[in-house]
Chain A
């Protein structure tokens, strides 16, 4: 094994693992075994897994190893472990949505994204903690404990793809699948200091993923590095005729376009979000300035752009999300309200109190907002803005959680469907990740990833790990 593969295989990214497999310095079985040992050591303190499927993962690793040894390499994810948020179907395993209501909901088939990953040779490690039905959390009244932040387990890891981000930050797997309806990939990515991408609406299939809000739901990649995020997107993006929202788009090789730098790109800074609408923690504001200055030093042209107020985006997101979620959950909320945790019950019942006119008004405002963001993206190639306005607070401080969760600038891009990526922008004085968000034009994830990689290359955020275990 190489030095790093030998000493700390759990920090290997997908790309590095593929190189180690090719060089025969590490095998998929060795990597999966190391990750299982890592999970045994650290997961009891951070609650990443709802279900660790160790036997199936080892068997898949043996198959991958035999294929790779025989020279039948399927691609860059062959033999690479991946964690799956537990609202995404994996055939033969329960999709519980972290809820008492679905404890025995065994999936008959893989979700489209999981099927694509298996085809690419990736190894499913297990199902990961989420907020209940991707909306109610962090909660302590559910059948599984909430995931915790590996940078400080007394703090929350963000949500709702909480297990995915915590597991990546803790070195339990190099790749994970999450979902994002109001920021649920980018929030935990921000809180845990990893990379999370909400793709353009329609780029990645939602088939086999438990719905929260049909027009705001996105499935997307999460990883510790921008390159691994791009590799995972390469594997899961593509048209699915069985997802009515799926878009037919030309194939792009995201991972191949990363290292082009930002010289000549126009970066539009959205200052109002963190300066006026929701004044950010000074450490977050300073980190955002540093990212902008760094990209300028790398050759990007910075310009300020104007968007509608955050509160306007948030209200539209909530009216649409709650109305659509009510359509999904009304039968259970009527008959079995006591089987939900308190937070999910409160948030999901809100949809009962909107009228049809409210929903249509929100959808009409949505089209105006799309037009406004499109106008900003004619002046800039990529937008730079805040993700979370402060580092993660303590998980047991319900008041702080309730106050700080809405202090974010992620919902705009669920409303408009533009691609948006959140990643680490530094560490707070208290040792918790700070974050930045980049958003781009429809189906131009390649440029978003390119800007993110330029920041990562200078800042070294891909080698910044918590001292856990």
Chain B
């Protein structure tokens, strides 16, 4: 990934301090993300749903037991 683009994305993410103090780590993190994104086989079926599916209501949580 282009170094200027990495720097712009890092600033957008609020990583100015890391960019100043650890520029190699920021570059390595960006390369890592790009690599995994390129390796991922995104579904071609437009109707492919994500996991977990949306479920209406709150089945359980900190103040409510599961149904």
| A residues whose Cβ falls under 8 Å from a Cβ of B | 215, 239, 241-242, 244, 246, 248, 308, 311-312, 314-316, 318-319, 322, 330, 333-335, 337-338, 342, 345-354, 358, 360-368, 370
Contact = CB atoms under 8 A, between A and B. Distances in A.
Contact of A351 (B14, B33, B41): B33
Contacts of A347: 29, 32
Given A312-B39, A365-B40, A330 B30 contact: no
Interface string B46-67: 0011111000000011101110
8 contacts: A241-B61, A248-B66, A308-B41, A346-B29, A346-B32, A349-B25, A352-B13, A353-B33
A330 B65 contact: no
A235 to B, nearest CB: 21
B26 A318 contact: no
User: Which of B16, B39, B51, B62 has its CB near the most chain A CB atoms (within 10 A)?
Assistant: B51
A241 B65 contact: yes
B56 to A, nearest CB: 15
Contacts of B21: 337-338
B17 A337 contact: yes
B50 A367 contact: yes
Contacts of B36: 314-315, 318-319, 322, 350
Contacts, number: 123
Contact of A349 (B15, B51, B60, B66): B15
Contacts of B25: 337, 342, 345-346, 349
Nearest to A348: B29
Contacts of A315: 36-37, 39-41
B52 A215 contact: yes
A308 to B, nearest CB: 8
Given A244-B62, A335-B17, A337-B17, 4 more contacts: A242-B61, A246-B66, A352-B33, A364-B48
A354 B39 contact: no
Contact of A352 (B29, B34, B42, B52): B29
Interface of A is mostly: helix
Nearest to B17: A337
A311 B36 CA distance: 9
B37 A354 contact: yes
A337 B34 contact: no
B6 to A, nearest CB: 8
Given A215-B52, A244-B61, A246-B66, A353 B43 contact: no
Contacts of A338: 21-22
A330 B50 contact: no
Contacts of A242: 61-62
A62 B49 CA distance: 55
Contact of A353 (B9, B39, B48): B9
B66 A241 contact: yes
Contacts of B32: 318, 322, 346-347, 350
B28 interface: yes
Contact of A354 (B33, B50, B61): B33
Contact of A360 (B30, B34, B50): B50
Question: 5 closest pairs, A vs B, by CB?
Answer: A349-B29, A363-B50, A353-B33, A352-B13, A315-B39
Given A337-B17, A346-B29, A366 B39 contact: no
A379 to B, nearest CB: 22
A346 to B, nearest CB: 5
Contact of A241 (B17, B34, B51, B60): B60
Given A241-B60, A347-B29, A354-B33, A337 B50 contact: no
A334 B39 CA distance: 28
Nearest to B62: A242
A316 B15 CA distance: 24
Contacts of B33: 322, 350-354
